[in-house]
Structure formats: C-alpha cells, structure tokens
Amino acid sequence: MAGQKNFPLLMELGAPGRRAYLLPDLDVPSRSLEELIPDQYMRSEPAPLPELSELEVVRHFTGLSRRNHGVDVGFYPLGSCTMKYNPKVNEDLASYPAFASLHPYQPEATVQGALQLMYELEQYLCEIAGLARATLAPAAGAHGELTGLMLIKAYHVSRGEGHRDEIIIPDSAHGTNPASAAMCGYKVVEVASNDRGSVSVDALREVVGPKTAGLMLTNPNTLGLFEEDILTISEMVHEAGGLLYFDGANANAILGKCRPGDMGFDVVHFNLHKTFSTPHGGGGPGSGPIAVREDLVPFLPVPVVEKRQESLDSPGTGENTDEFYLDYDRPLSIGKIKGFYGNFLVMVRAYAYILSMGAEGLKHVSEDAVLAANYLMVKLKSAYDLPYDRICKHEFVLSAKRQKANGVAARDIAKRLLDYGMHAPTVYFPLIVEEALMIEPTETETKATLDEFIEVMLAIAREAEESPEKLQNAPYHTVVGRLDETLAARHPVVRWQGEKDMGAKAQDE
C-alpha cells in the first residue's frame, strides 16, 4: 500500500451503510433531532460523510503513515526546525492518564501535581534563559513572539514611552519576526548583516534611536552563527531605551553554555516543541514560553502559577505544605493570551526532558549538536559554496550557486536527497544566501549517519556536474515523483471536489 501511486481519499472509499460498529437499542426514551436542536442549526441536507469499516480506516491511515518521513524513519536535517529525536519516555509520561485526562476546570486542590510541574518548568526555563519569570501560555513560536512584543509594548506604555513604534529586525531573521511585530502594531525596520553573517553594528547605529521599541534577534542567527557583537548590540539598544527580544528557535545550540539574559536580552522565547522534546512539524500542538527580566514580570499574561505555604491540613501544628495556585490578580498584566493555561502536555514533555537530561546533559545536547554541524560543514565545503566560512553553531548554510551555473538549483538537490531516504534541508532560507541549503543535523545522529549524509551530498554534487538532468527530474524512488508545486500554489484545490455528487447521492437514499 505504501508504494501505491493512487491513494484514495476516505471520501472515495467505503459504501453507503458500511460501518464499524452497531449501537445497542436505546434504554431511554428516544427523541427526534428536531425536538432537540433549533431549526436554524439543522442541516437542510445530510453531510456527505464517508461510511467505512474500521479496517478500511486503519489501513487508510497506516498506509499514509508508511508514505511519510519522520525522524523515527530517517535523517531529517531541516535547518532552523531542530527535527531532533524526542526520547519516547517523554511521550510515555505525557500520555500518563493523570496528566492526559485532566480537565482544565478541575479545582486547584485536585491538580496540585500539574501546577507544581508548571511552576517548576517555569523555574527551569528561567534558569536556562537567565531571567526572572516566564509565561508558559503561548501555544507556538510565533504566538510567543507576539506575547513578547506585547510585553515590550506594555513596558514602554507604563513608562510613558508609548510613542516608541519601531522594532528592528536583522535581514537574516525568521519571517515570523517582522510578521509578529506588524501584528503587534509596530513598524519593522530592517538592519543589514555584515560580511561575517552577523548584525552590522554600523548599520544598527544608523537605525536605533528614540523611536526604537526593541530589537528582535536570533542567537545563534539563522546562518547558524553566533552574534559575536551581542554585548555591543545590547548596549546600543538599551542606551537608546529599547529592549532586546531573543528568538529561541536556535536555543538548541546554547543550552547551559550561555544564557540569553547574560547577553542582555530582556525577553526570551523558547520553542518547547523544537528544543525540549515535543515532536513537531505538523502544525502543533506547540509551546512558546516567554521569559522576562524582573521589571517586566508585572506585565506577564494571566494566570501565573504561584506557590504559597499553607498549613490547612494540620492547623496549629506548624507543619507547612506548599500549595500551588493560579494567580489572576495581576493588575498590570497584558491579560489572557490563550484559552486556559497553554498546551499542558507539551510542558510535561519539556519538564521530563529537562529533568532526565539534567544540567550536564543539556550542555552535552548543545555540544553534540554544534559538533555534528561543524563536522558536516567542514566535510561538505569543498563540494558546495559556503558563503560564511567560520565555525558554526548547530546549523550552517551552504549555497548551491556553483551547481546553479550548471542548471541545478538548491530545490533539485533537495529533491534528489529524498531518493536516498533522507529528508531535504531547509532551502531558500535565510534569504540573504542565494540558493541556500540550511542544514541542521541535531545532536541525536550517530557519526555513521552523518558520514552517510556526507557521502550522499558529495554524490549529488558529482551528479550535478555530470548529469544535471538527473537532478532536475528527481525524485525517482519516492511514492510520488516531482510534484507541480507551482500549479498547486497558483491554483490550490483545498476541498474535496466530489462533495456535491456525494451530497446528492446521500439524499437519494
């Protein structure tokens, strides 16, 4: 089934009346739908739902999963995404019913363990960030960015400096940075990179000023390079009255090695789903906590998990027990930014991951991630262009400029990699590198896998010279060949086209 070319949709499978189970007779009085649901909410025609046996459904989804590629199947060097292996023990813990079956409206007294987990996870993240307190509420990276910017705005407004309306963003930044700033009502001011791939301090001096609300920076940046001038940059922005926002997309490179707070960042974001053991790439759930320095704490979203010493169980004995509670009484808070408390089970994975790795283990994570990236970079830089040739952090960016001269684009190299059973790197990002191939091996791959990838990339470079057409038409061994991405983007078909027929069929019966 995995090799099947035409893979039918659920809508195309099944037959009327086919089903997976039979319900027993009702043992309460039956009432009609019309009686229970007001007229305006009733459908005029039945929904065209597929009718299938259980086995058909199981085979459908199992078949799809076999056509998929994930880190559990093979190498996945998708730069900037940190597609690292997430230890299964963290999945086990997150599926533990005492966590997974909690209801967000349960009384606090019955969820003390969950609240303690959130409280302690916040502390661990603050320790890694080098800052005072954090919110776990944001549901994704960009949601965290928006939250962080809202905190920056609240800070300036509280100081009577609401006129600051510019956020400075490097030209190498993730696209979400300017999007979040614009969403928060800020003007985006771009700052250029220098020839070492870092923020140009001279260019920054030109744009920083009394209108600067803040600077958003990823460190290491999207070229996988550490911003060596970060202390100068932070001094310049702070002197101008602005704040520094840390995009934590690349936090996997610095865990326990250095703290964004020490670099001068005031607002620090993490992607738990990248760095702290939640599988991702399919659109969530994610988690984008935001840590802040002391004087920004009053603005954090509600609720914040707090701890108080209580002796309710044994009054007068002097025996205190910690009680955790959700604090909504925060008058300067920017308010609620997410239903309930954030994506709790992502927090469980992060908590379990941090505790199981320990402080030393997290340092090893970053050391191994950085070592693996540098190993690949050194081995590949003879066959591909390396526009910024310096020691990298957890990822590096090659350019297929040389191959492009022979008619082979970064896209073609990416497609050809699929034939070798490996996921493609990120391509055409960051924008400042022509024909970019952004490679992030992560800490969890063996040297044997890294060597295999090197061999494949060198073989592809040879193919690009000797038989470019082979690459231009790749892939050949995947379940589908080269797809027409242009047509799909220009004329997307996002709904099942046979729906009308199906609706008519259902009514006939």
Partner 1 sequence: MKVPADLKYTESHEWTKAADEGIIVGITDYAQSEMGDIVFADLPQVGAEYKKGESLAVIESVKAVSDIYAPVGGIVIAVNEALIDSPELINDDCYGEGWLIKLSPDTEAELDELLSAEEYEKLLEREG
Site residues, partner 1 (CB under 8 A)? 175, 411, 427-429, 431, 485-486, 489-490
The 3-state DSSP class for residue 121 equals helix
Which residue, 183 or 456, is less far from partner 1 as judged by CB?
183
Which residue, 113 or 175, is less far from partner 1 as judged by CB?
175
> Bridge partners of 327?
304
Minimum CB–partner distance for residue 268 and partner 1 (Å): 27
What is the H or E stretch that residue 292 is in? Answer: strand 290-292
One-letter amino acid of 135: T
Minimum CB–partner distance for residue 119 and partner 1 (Å): 41
What is the Cα–Cα distance from 326 to 341, expressed in whole angstroms?
Answer: 9
Minimum CB–partner distance for residue 410 and partner 1 (Å): 9
Which residue, 118 or 436, is less far from partner 1 as judged by CB?
436
**For strand 304-310 and strand 290-292, is the pairing parallel, antiparallel, or unpaired?**
unpaired
Is residue 115 within 8 A of residue 325, CB to CB? The reply is yes
Minimum CB–partner distance for residue 271 and partner 1 (Å): 22
What one-character DSSP code corresponds to residue 432?
T
Q: Strand (E) positions, 311-418?
A: 321-327, 396-399
Which residue, 2 or 431, is less far from partner 1 as judged by CB?
431
What is the Cα–Cα distance from 310 to 120, expressed in whole angstroms?
Answer: 18
Which residue, 48 or 468, is less far from partner 1 as judged by CB?
468
Q: Strand (E) positions, 347-403?
A: 396-399
Of 266, 268, 270, whose CA–CA distance to 295 is shortest? 266
Which residue, 34 or 484, is less far from partner 1 as judged by CB?
484
Minimum CB–partner distance for residue 188 and partner 1 (Å): 10
Minimum CB–partner distance for residue 431 and partner 1 (Å): 6
Instruction: Please count the helices (runs of H) and the strands (runs of E) in the chain.
Output: 18, 12
Minimum CB–partner distance for residue 485 and partner 1 (Å): 5
Which residue, 23 or 489, is less far from partner 1 as judged by CB?
489
Minimum CB–partner distance for residue 175 and partner 1 (Å): 7
Angle subtended by helix axes 176-183 and 141-158, to nearest 10: 40
Residue 374, both tokens: 């540098």
Of 445, 435, 363, 355, whose CA–CA distance to 402 is shortest? 435
Minimum CB–partner distance for residue 38 and partner 1 (Å): 40
Which residue, 44 or 486, is less far from partner 1 as judged by CB?
486
How many Cβ atoms are within 10 Å of 263's Cβ, its own excluded? 20
Residue 108, both tokens: 């606090």
The strands making up 267-269's β-sheet, listed across from edge to edge, are 133-135, 290-292, 267-269, 243-247, 212-218, 166-170, 187-191
What is the Cα–Cα distance from 214 to 197, expressed in whole angstroms?
Answer: 21
Which residue, 40 or 486, is less far from partner 1 as judged by CB?
486
Minimum CB–partner distance for residue 437 and partner 1 (Å): 13
Residues with Cβ < 8 Å from 4, sequence gap 6 or more? 63, 479
Residue 75, both tokens: 């190498």
What is the Cα–Cα distance from 133 to 300, expressed in whole angstroms?
Answer: 9
Which residue, 31 or 491, is less far from partner 1 as judged by CB?
491
